[in-house]
Amino acid sequence: MARETKKLVIDACEICQKKHFLTVEYDQLVTTMEWPPKQTTVSVEYCCPRVAKTATYSVDFDGIVEDVKVVSLTLNEDGEKVFQYGSNCSATRLNSRERLGGAAIPIGIAETVEEYQLQFDVWSDGNNCAAADIVKMLAIM
């Protein structure tokens, strides 16, 4: 019995109709060396990263497999990581129709390695208020 990994492309998610990249792990019980060749079809459950709803995807495996588990799921393989602060922290605002339209997936809270301070030194014409900037703290001499 060998633990294997398979990378799959979901062409159209049943929930959002978009493309997702799914990686699953499974145990290979019987290989394709057997005759007649055996196949296993497994319904894999995943959580749609756009809508956060459960969806299923039917996967064909060569041979006999069991214990299929989802390892990772991404919307896009070349997805960029962005760091947002201030009013842009709002996932609702970032994913609004006029911005990313639901394509952004919040990963978590980030922390800077070095010391930074928030400085309200910019005027936002769009929001008509002072806007913050992250500035590096200077060492005190």
Q: Which residues pair with 2 in a beta bridge?
A: 28
- Encoded one letter per residue, x for contact with Zn ion by CB under 5 A and - for no contact, window 26-55 reads ----------------------x-x-----
| 3-state secondary structure at position 69 | strand
- Among 8, 16, 30, 100, which residue interacts with Zn ion (rule: CB under 5 A)? 16
Nearer to Zn ion, 30 or 91 (CB): 91
Cα three-residue angle 83-85-88, rounded to 5 degrees: 95
Name which of 63 and 102 has its Cβ closer to Zn ion.
102
Of the pair 52, 138, the CB lying nearest Zn ion is at: 52
CA 41 to chain centre: 25
Task: Write down the least CB distance from residue 4 to Zn ion, Å.
Answer: 25
Min dist CB 73 to Zn ion, Å, is 9
* Alpha carbons 19 and 74: distance in angstroms, whole number: 9
Which residues are registered as beta bridge partners of 7?
Answer: 23
